[in-house]
């Protein structure tokens, strides 16, 4: 198992070294997109929007954290499904299912290996955004807890979409719609909603983890252990559902003879 993970890790970074321009361009696009969003929002708010006040600074920090979370989740989602879609389009998907390892094991370890590169790209993008905006976020070791639950939930959703790729082969439009929804969902501070709306929002994948990250990084609040318990339960439920959907899709694809299709 460890040898397989190391092989996938080497594969990920070899591809990065061979095509570094894609990663550099990815960082540039992430940063420049936020810059245009930031300047557009500042223009709409008008000259009276005081970002140098404590309240204005907090809103900007919440915006930065929400944007970076959205980018991380979208990259996890697109990487898993896009890699599988590429394998299906080139006709090499069947070889993975003929390997000595279970296909689900291969794809899980591949997702974990590529996560290291995604985290590096997002970290560089976050650093550039902080330099541009002049904001300061709080970084605590406790960030690893909600970050872990966020990544687990994201991979659950990614494997559910990957299951559609096994059966349908091309899901670009579905993936685009999911990414569009996640961008606004994770960028919205749902923790500020009152009453039943907040409880309903926390049933959606990744929203409790995103709320915790905003509290820790932007608002400098202590970790809410009750909310972390909700985030952990949310992560385990959606990860289990995602892996279950992928396993069912794999079985359906095998029965219908879809794995060998080009």
Percentage of the chain exceeding pLDDT 70: 91
Average pLDDT, the chain: 83
Q: How confident is the model at residue 41 (pLDDT cuts 50, 70, 90)?
A: low
Q: How confident is the model at residue 231 (pLDDT cuts 50, 70, 90)?
A: very high
Q: Say what the pTM is.
A: 0.87
User: Domain boundaries in the chain?
Assistant: 2-255
Q: How confident is the model at residue 69 (pLDDT cuts 50, 70, 90)?
A: very high
Instruction: Identify which has the larger pLDDT, 213 or 1.
Output: 213
Which of 92, 85, 83 lies closest to 166 in space, CA to CA?
A: 85
Q: How confident is the model at residue 262 (pLDDT cuts 50, 70, 90)?
A: very low
pLDDT at 55 over 70: no
Cα→Cα distances 42→66, 127, 131, 167, Å: 17, 21, 17, 45
């Amino acid at each position: 198992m460890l040898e397989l993970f190391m092989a996938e890790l080497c594969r990920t970074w070899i591809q990065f070294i061979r095509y570094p321009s894609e990663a550099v361009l990815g960082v540039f696009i992430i940063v420049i997109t936020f810059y245009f969003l930031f300047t557009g929002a500042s223009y709409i708010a008008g000259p009276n929007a005081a970002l140098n006040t404590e309240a204005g600074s907090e809103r900007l920090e919440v915006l930065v954290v929400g944007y970076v979370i959205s980018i991380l989740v979208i990259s996890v989602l697109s990487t898993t499904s896009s890699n599988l879609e590429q394998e299906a389009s080139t006709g090499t998907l069947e070889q993975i299912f003929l390997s000595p390892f279970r296909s689900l094991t291969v794809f899980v370890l591949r997702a974990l290996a590529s996560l290291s590169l995604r985290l590096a790209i997002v970290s560089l993008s976050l650093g550039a955004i902080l330099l541009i905006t002049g904001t300061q976020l709080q970084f605590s070791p406790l960030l690893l807890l909600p970050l872990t639950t966020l990544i687990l939930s994201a991979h659950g959703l990614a494997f559910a979409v990957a299951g559609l790729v096994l059966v349908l082969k091309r899901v670009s439009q579905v993936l685009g719609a999911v990414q569009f929804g996640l961008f606004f969902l994770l960028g919205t501070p749902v923790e500020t909603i009152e009453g039943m709306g907040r409880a309903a929002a926390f049933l959606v994948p990744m929203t409790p983890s995103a709320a915790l990250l905003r509290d820790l990084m932007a608002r400098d609040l202590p970790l809410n252990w009750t909310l972390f318990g909700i985030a952990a339960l949310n992560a385990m439920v959606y990860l289990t559902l995602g892996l279950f959907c992928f396993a069912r899709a794999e079985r359906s694809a095998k029965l219908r003879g879809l794995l060998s299709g080009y």
